């Protein structure tokens, strides 16, 4: 279906794609010239340690300089760099590039005084305030490596990340505000530090008036007090290949993977994507309605807009309920947003509360050029609804924490291609996407299989996993030599359009958040009454998927199931965090397994979704599936046909 009636097909996309494929060194070497380098890269792509590739080896630059100082020196000092709009606290604040530079340089001074130097780690656990962005850039300024942890994660997940990253300093806030609820960030942090074997030397805490926090003597410092006496420090030049940040993403086990992003490749790819994927120009306003704790926040709230000299928005609120489903359109009107980026789940939440667009109609959204959606599959219904509502391009694009920027998209800055709802269009120049079978053989068009990316990946993609090259290779590269395994399943159609059908591992996508069922299973297993358990994702109309748990109790447990289930819900909330959305769990006598003892999660998921299922030939005892169906029905699932097809 052709959905951009005014699109004039040219061959710009095909030409750019071919250029990037034929000669990646030339293509990205050329793109790198848009940045300021203290020392130009000696080698555009170092292939000597394949399959670990390094972009811009020998190059020296500073990401903070390129995103902030360069624009102050180049005439954008008085342009808004960051707009903070917080409907939940009733606060608005604008920082120009000059003001941002002052704050970042002084907070970099604070970190330096606390002993942070190039290569040291700083964990940032903060709500959506400008100070989160300031802390990230302050790290970049002095070559320190930040690791931002999403505020919806609880102490255990935070502790795991602190242990792995071993930060000298943690930067946090007294609280976050979630709708009408105040979340005690500092208390969660204190508990995480208590649990962690690694202890940071210092904690810098932003005291917020909604709830002030306790300070631990000798360790904790007040953000404002330190800033009042801080001296600004200059940018420290770093190698292009030095790490800029670590961002943990869910693995198939409970242990998160520390995705490492370098400085040079990251800056080059993000700057290029702002112009070519998002069609932005310096001075425009870009709004990624996400959270700095996710990759979307890192790339498209914090770094990419400022690298191009755009204005970015930090919004501390939700698409609905703060105060109503017109909130996104209010922000678009107020700040003349050119491009809005969010997750489909946010649009579904708005659609549910404002189906006929009455709230939308209250605002002047004429500044809006396009709506970009990512983080989960964009279902055609949501696509059509949004397209009809805003009467502008709605762009589904696919990428992941590991890639750091879009892998497949309709690149509006190159050429607007016809849309096929349900598809994130075609690969972005720089990426080669192949669908392979279990043996690694490339499949023909229309055949569904494992989605892989051919090596070398373009700049800006993950360099490795923190302190674990081996796990990086084993997780992503070892299965099919010469390819990166994305963890998604899908197919490419006859026209070269990619369709992503969902994860093929134990990661689930809940409200656009990528979560590990392994972490939730770990929390359930730790309960004294639980012998074994399984967690899997079930379809949800708003949040795309929700986790469901089934547990088998230890012999001799006589306590009531309802009480135990309540405790299990709390256990996951305490261990993983509220963002897991774990609310449904039932007790079963046994779990369905293969004869070799593998739990049949995929079959349980199919039953829960009310979809026809095939009884796996390797199942130990088919009768377990009937018991599971009963349990899932008690949770409100498995409502449609239950008759198995086939055998």
Rule CB under 6 A: choose which of 270, 295, 320, 511 binds ligand AMP.
Answer: 295
Q: How many residues bind ligand AMP (CB under 6 A)?
A: 20
By CB under 6 A, is residue 515 in contact with ligand AMP? no
190 CB-near residues (< 8 Å, 6+ apart): 214, 216
Give the C-alpha separation, 274 to 290, whole Å: 17
∠530-534-539 over CA atoms, to 5°? 135
Q: Where are the beta strands (DSSP E) in 316-386?
A: 339-342, 370-373
Q: How far is the CB of 136 from ligand COA (least distance, A)?
A: 16
**Residue 343 contact, options ligand COA, ligand AMP, none, Cβ 5-8 Å cut-off depending on partner type:** ligand COA
Q: How far is the CB of 394 from ligand COA (least distance, A)?
A: 15
Q: Treating both helix axes as pointing N-terminal to C-terminal, what angle do 24-32 and 12-22 enclose, rounded to 10 degrees?
A: 110
For CA atoms 472, 478, 484, 486, give the dihedral sign. negative
Q: Phi first, then psi: what are they for 578, rounded to 5°? A: -65, -25
Burial degree of 55 (CB within 10 A; 0-12, 13-18, 19+): buried
449 sits near ligand COA (criterion: CB under 6 A): no
Q: Enter the tokens of residue 173.
A: 């806030």
Q: Is 419 in the site for ligand AMP (CB under 6 A)?
A: no
By beta-carbon proximity to ligand COA, the closer residue of 109 and 297 is: 297
Stretch binding ligand AMP (CB under 6 A), from 49-57, 207-215, 224-232, 396-404? 396-404
CB of 563 to ligand COA, least distance (A): 20
| Strand order through the sheet with 498-503 | 433-436, 449-454, 483-492, 498-503
Q: For residue 18, give every residue at least 6 positions away whose Cβ sits within 8 Å of its Cβ, in sequence order, or none.
A: none
DSSP 500-511: EEEESSSEEEET
User: 27 or 499, CB closer to ligand AMP?
Assistant: 499
Cβ neighbours of residue 640 under 8 Å, at least 6 residues apart? 609, 610, 611
Rounded CA separation 575/517 (Å): 12
Least distance (Å) from ligand COA to the CB of residue 178? 4
| Cis amide leading into 507 (omega within 30) | no
Tell me the per-residue interface mask from 477 to 496 with ligand AMP, x by CB under 6 A, - otherwise. Answer: ---------xxx--------
Residue 376 interacting entry, from ligand COA, ligand AMP, none, C-beta within 5 to 8 Å by type: ligand AMP
Q: Does 152 interact with ligand COA (rule: CB under 6 A)? A: yes
Q: Give the C-alpha separation, 285 to 532, whole Å.
A: 50
Contact in structure between 133 and 139 (CB atoms under 8 Å): no
Residue in 135, 145, 147, 82 with CA at minimum distance from that of residue 110: 135
Task: Please choose, from the candidates 424, 436, 431, the residue with its C-alpha nearest in 3D space to the C-alpha of residue 485.
Answer: 436
Burial 404-423 (b: 16+ CB within 10 A, else e): bbbbbbbbbbbbbbebbbbb
Q: Count of CB atoms within 10 A of residue 522's CB?
A: 20
Taking CB under 6 A as the criterion, the residue among 500, 565, 575, 587 binding ligand AMP is 500
Residue 291 touching ligand COA (CB under 6 A): yes
Q: Which one of the spans 52-60, 347-355, 364-372, 397-405 is the region binding ligand AMP (CB under 6 A)? A: 397-405
Tokens coding 626 = 């009937």
The entry of ligand AMP, ligand COA, none that residue 346 binds, CB within 5 to 8 Å by partner kind: ligand COA
> What tokens were used for 567?
């405790």
Residue 424 binding partner per list ligand COA, ligand AMP, none, with a CB distance cut-off of 5 to 8 Å that depends on partner kind = ligand AMP
Q: How far is CA 482 from the centre of its chain?
A: 25
Least distance between ligand AMP and beta carbon 294 (Å): 6
Distance CA 53, CA 61 (A): 19
Indicate which single residue of 24, 151, 265, 317 sits in contact with ligand COA (rule: CB under 6 A).
151
- Single residue of 238, 331, 346, 378 touching ligand COA by CB under 6 A: 346
Q: Which stretch binds ligand AMP (CB under 6 A): 49-57, 89-97, 202-210, 375-383?
A: 375-383
Asked if 424 touches ligand AMP (CB under 6 A), the answer is yes
382 interacts with ligand AMP by CB under 6 A: no
Q: How far apart are CA 582 and CA 615, in angstroms?
A: 27
Residue 290 interacting with ligand COA (CB under 6 A): yes
Per rule CB under 6 A, is residue 397 in the interface with ligand AMP?
A: yes
Task: For the CB of residue 164, give the shortest distance to ligand AMP in the complex, in Å.
Answer: 17
Question: Quick one: 143 or 512, whose CB is closer to ligand COA?
Answer: 512
Q: Which does 176 bind (CB under 5 to 8 A by kind): ligand AMP, ligand COA, none?
A: ligand COA
Q: Which of 170, 269, 308, 343 binds ligand COA (CB under 6 A)?
A: 343
296 binds ligand COA per the rule CB under 6 A: yes
Region near ligand COA per CB under 6 A, out of 157-165, 215-223, 289-297, 391-399: 289-297
Provide the CA 172 distance to its chain's centre, in angstroms: 20
- 490: which strand partners? 449, 500
User: Residue 249 touches which of ligand AMP, ligand COA, none (CB < 5 to 8 A by kind)?
Assistant: ligand AMP
376 binds ligand AMP (CB under 6 A): yes
Chain positions contacting ligand COA, by CB under 6 A? 151-152, 176, 178, 183, 290-291, 294, 296, 318-320, 342-343, 345-346, 349, 375, 511-513, 578-579, 581
Chain positions contacting ligand AMP, by CB under 6 A? 249, 295, 374-378, 396-398, 400-401, 424, 486-488, 500, 503, 509, 514
């Amino acid at each position: 279906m052709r959905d951009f009636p005014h699109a004039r097909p040219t061959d710009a996309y095909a030409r750019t794609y071919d250029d990037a494929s034929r000669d990646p060194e030339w293509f990205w070497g050329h793109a790198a010239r848009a940045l300021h380098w203290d020392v130009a890269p000696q080698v555009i792509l170092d292939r000597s340690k394949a399959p670990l590739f390094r972009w811009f080896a020998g190059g020296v630059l500073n990401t903070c300089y390129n995103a902030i100082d360069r624009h102050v020196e180049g005439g954008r000092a008085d342009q808004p760099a960051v707009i903070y709009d917080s409907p939940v606290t009733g606060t608005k604040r604008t920082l120009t590039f000059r003001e941002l530079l002052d704050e970042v340089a002084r907070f970099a001074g604070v970190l330096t005084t606390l002993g942070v130097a190039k290569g040291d780690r700083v964990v940032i656990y903060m709500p959506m305030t400008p100070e989160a962005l300031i802390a990230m850039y302050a790290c970049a300024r002095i070559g320190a490596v930040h690791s931002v942890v999403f505020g919806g994660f609880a102490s255990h997940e935070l502790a795991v990340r602190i242990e792995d990253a071993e930060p000298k300093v943690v930067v946090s806030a007294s609280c976050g505000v979630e709708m009408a609820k105040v979340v005690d960030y500092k208390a969660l942090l204190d508990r995480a530090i208590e649990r962690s074997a690694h202890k940071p030397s210092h904690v810098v805490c932003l005291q917020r008036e909604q709830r002030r926090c306790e300070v631990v003597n000798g360790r904790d410092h007040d953000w404002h007090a330190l800033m009042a006496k801080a001296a600004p420090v200059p940018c420290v030049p770093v190698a292009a290949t030095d790490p800029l940040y670590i961002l943990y993403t869910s693995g198939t086990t409970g242990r998160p993977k520390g995705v490492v992003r370098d400085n040079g490749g990251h800056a080059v790819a993000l700057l290029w994507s702002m112009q070519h994927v998002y069609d932005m120009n310096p001075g425009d306003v870009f709004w990624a309605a996400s959270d700095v704790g996710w990759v979307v926040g890192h790339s498209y709230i914090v770094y990419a807009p400022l690298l191009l000299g755009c204005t970015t928005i930090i919004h501390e609120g939700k698409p609905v309920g703060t105060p109503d489903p017109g909130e996104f359109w209010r922000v678009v009107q107020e700040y003349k947003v050119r491009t809005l980026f969010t997750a489909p789940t946010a649009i579904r939440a708005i659609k549910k509360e404002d189906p006929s667009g009455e709230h939308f109609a209250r605002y002047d959204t004429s500044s809006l050029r396009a709506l970009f959606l990512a983080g989960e599959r964009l279902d055609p219904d949501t696509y059509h609804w949004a397209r009809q509502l805003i009467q502008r391009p709605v762009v589904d694009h696919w990428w992941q924490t590991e890639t750091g920027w879009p892998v497949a998209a309709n690149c509006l800055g190159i050429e607007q291609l016809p849309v096929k709802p349900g598809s994130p269009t075609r690969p972005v120049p720089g990426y080669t996407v192949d669908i392979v079978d279990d043996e690694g053989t490339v499949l023909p068009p229309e055949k569904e299989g494992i989605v892989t990316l051919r090596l070398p990946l373009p700049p800006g993609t993950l360099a490795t996993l923190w302190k674990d090259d081996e796990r990086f290779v084993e997780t992503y590269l070892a299965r099919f030599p010469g390819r990166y395994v994305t963890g998604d399943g899908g197919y490419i159609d006859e026209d070269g359009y990619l369709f992503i059908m969902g994860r093929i591992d134990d990661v689930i996508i809940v409200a656009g958040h990528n979560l590990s069922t392994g972490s939730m299973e770990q929390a359930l297993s730790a309960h004294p009454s639980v012998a074994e358990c399984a967690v899997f994702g079930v379809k949800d109309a708003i949040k795309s998927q929700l986790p469901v748990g089934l547990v088998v109790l230890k012999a001799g447990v006589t306590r009531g199931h309802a009480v135990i289930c309540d405790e299990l819900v709390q256990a996951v909330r305490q261990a993983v965090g509220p963002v897991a959305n774990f609310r449904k769990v039932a007790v079963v006598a046994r779990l369905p397994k293969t004869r070799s003892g593998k739990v049949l999660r995929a079959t349980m998921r199919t039953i829960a979704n009310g979809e026809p299922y095939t009884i796996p030939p390797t199942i130990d005892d088919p009768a377990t599936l009937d018991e599971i169906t009963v349990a899932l029905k008690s949770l409100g699932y498995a409502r449609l046909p239950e008759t198995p097809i086939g055998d």
